[in-house]
Amino acid sequence: MDPAPAGGDDQIVTNATVIRFLALALLWGGSFTLIKVSLEGLSPAQLVLARLALGALVLAVIAAVRQVGLPRGGTVWGHLTGAALFGQVLPFLLLSYGERSAGAGVAGVLIGATPLLTLTIAYAALSAERATARKVVGLLIGFAGIVVVLAPWREAPGSLGGEIACFGAAVSYAISFVYVRRFLSPRGLAPLSLAAGQLLVAVVLQALASPLLEWGTVRLTSRVLVSIVLLGVLSTGLAYVLYFRLIGDIGATSASAVNYVVPVAAVGVGVLFLSEPVTWNLLVGGLIVLAGMAYAEKRLTRRPAAAEIPPARRGTA
């Protein structure tokens, strides 16, 4: 194929990439509101099982259409089990339980701290990671922001338990990213194969755990039904495809910048559809978290490299 003329297809590709980037931020940011609405008719266990099953179905169909096979080998599936436990089952459950009392916007801001937590865990688990002075300062700034968001000084914390559960989901996501990087990324698995396999394992794990968890009466109103379908099909299934496409288009570092937009989208969607209040500590704490993350990752001063190696990781929501 001949190269495109300057100012022609290049601009089309750029516009398409921007649309994908914003769509992914909206899907992940909006997932917290969808969780909140789904909880009106489903227990956390029911919500997570339905979400995982729908997401796995979407990825399985896409993988079949693209003729991408599932991973092979007992060792790989063993590691996929670990990745699914920390990357889907635990954080999805913690978010669902946490959002019973915590707001969708607050949950989104706390999950926005996942990259900082990933850096922290990577220092301890990966010998290749070095704790530079810049990263340490960035982490300290970010964690100060988390404290502001949680606001433990409030006389009547109310939702503090739910917020801590949401923060626990961010910790679980961070563990899964480091786990995947340590045990699965070196194997060179196709991203779609990895994501589909991981979600299928997550469905099995959640199905096994569900009888041990709270299981109330299902109340499928149209509002709840639409929310869980959107959550599973779009925010859990198709979001993977968008993320990996972005990595291919603009590289892993630039694609990961979506983490800066997801908390903003989470707060905005929560205000728009749930009329959630925006408190000063949510805004200030969220900005501090983003500033710490930007400083630690040198996003305030560096230009992204032209070519990057896509990591085997996923987005958080």
Q: What is the pLDDT of residues 49-74, one digit of tens each?
A: 999 999 999 999 999 999 999 998 88
Q: Cα(60)–Cα(195) distance, rounded to whole angstroms?
A: 9
Distance CA 10, CA 78 (A): 42
240: in domain: yes
> Taking the CB of residue 275, how many other CB atoms lie within 10 A of it?
7
What is the residue range of 58's domain? 9-296
Of 90-94, 131-135, 181-185, 251-255, minimum mean pLDDT range = 251-255
Q: How many folded domains does the chain comprise?
A: 1
The CB-side HSE value for 317 (13 A sphere, CA atoms) comes to 37
The answer to the question of residue 315 being in a domain is: no
pLDDT the model gives residue 268: 94
pTM for the structure as a whole: 0.86
220 pLDDT band (50/70/90 cuts)? very high
Closest CA to 112 of 258, 7, 216, 252: 258
Cα R_g (the chain), whole angstroms = 19
Token digits of residue 17: 């990439």
- Identify whether 310 is part of a domain: no
Measured on CA atoms in the order 295, 315, 42, 224, is the torsion positive or negative? Answer: positive
pLDDT surpasses 80 at 219:
yes
Give start and end residues of each alpha helix (H) in the chain.
Answer: 9-38, 44-65, 74-84, 90-98, 104-111, 114-125, 133-150, 160-183, 191-209, 222-229, 239-250, 252-256, 258-274, 280-296
CB under 8 Å to 299, separation ≥6 — which residues? Answer: 257, 293
What is residue 311's predicted lDDT score, i.e. its pLDDT?
Answer: 41
Q: Identify whether 312 is part of a domain.
A: no
pLDDT band at 4 (very low <50, low <70, confident <90, very high): very low
Which has the closest alpha carbon to 28: 313, 260, 289, 200?
260
**What is the predicted pLDDT for the residue at 90?**
97
Q: What is the mean pLDDT of residues 98-108?
A: 93
Provide the percentage of residues in the chain whose pLDDT is more than 70: 86
User: Which backbone phi and psi does 72 adopt, to 5 degrees?
Assistant: -125, 150
